Amino acid sequence: MTTETRVKILGYIKTNGQARVRDLVDHLRIGNVAVHRQLKSLVESGKLTKVGSAPNVLYYLVDMSKQKEVVDFWLGGAQEDWEFAVEIWESGKRLHNALFFAQLSLEKILKAYHYHSKDSHPLLIHDMVVLAKKAGLKIDDELNDDLKEISSFSIKARYEEYKTMFRKKATKDFTDIWMKKSEKIRSYLLNQFK
CATH number reported for the structural domain that contains residue 27 in this entry: 1.10.10.10
- Secondary element (H or E) of residue 59: strand 58-61
Total domains, the chain: 2
Which pLDDT tens digit goes with each residue over 26-37? 999 999 999 999
Evaluate if pTM is beyond 0.75: no
In whole numbers, what is the pLDDT of the chain averaged over residues? 89
Q: Are residues 74 and 158 in the same domain?
A: yes
Query: Is pLDDT of 107 > 70?
Result: yes
Torsion sign, CA atoms 182, 187, 85, 123? negative
What pLDDT sits at residue 155?
81
The region that residue 136 occupies, defined by phi over 0 for left and psi between -120 and 50 for alpha, beta otherwise, is left
Whether residue 1 is predicted with pLDDT greater than 70 in this model: the reply is no
Higher pLDDT among residues 65 and 27, named by residue? 27
Query: What is residue 109's predicted lDDT score, i.e. its pLDDT?
Result: 97
Domain that holds residue 101: 65-191
35 and 71 together in one domain: no
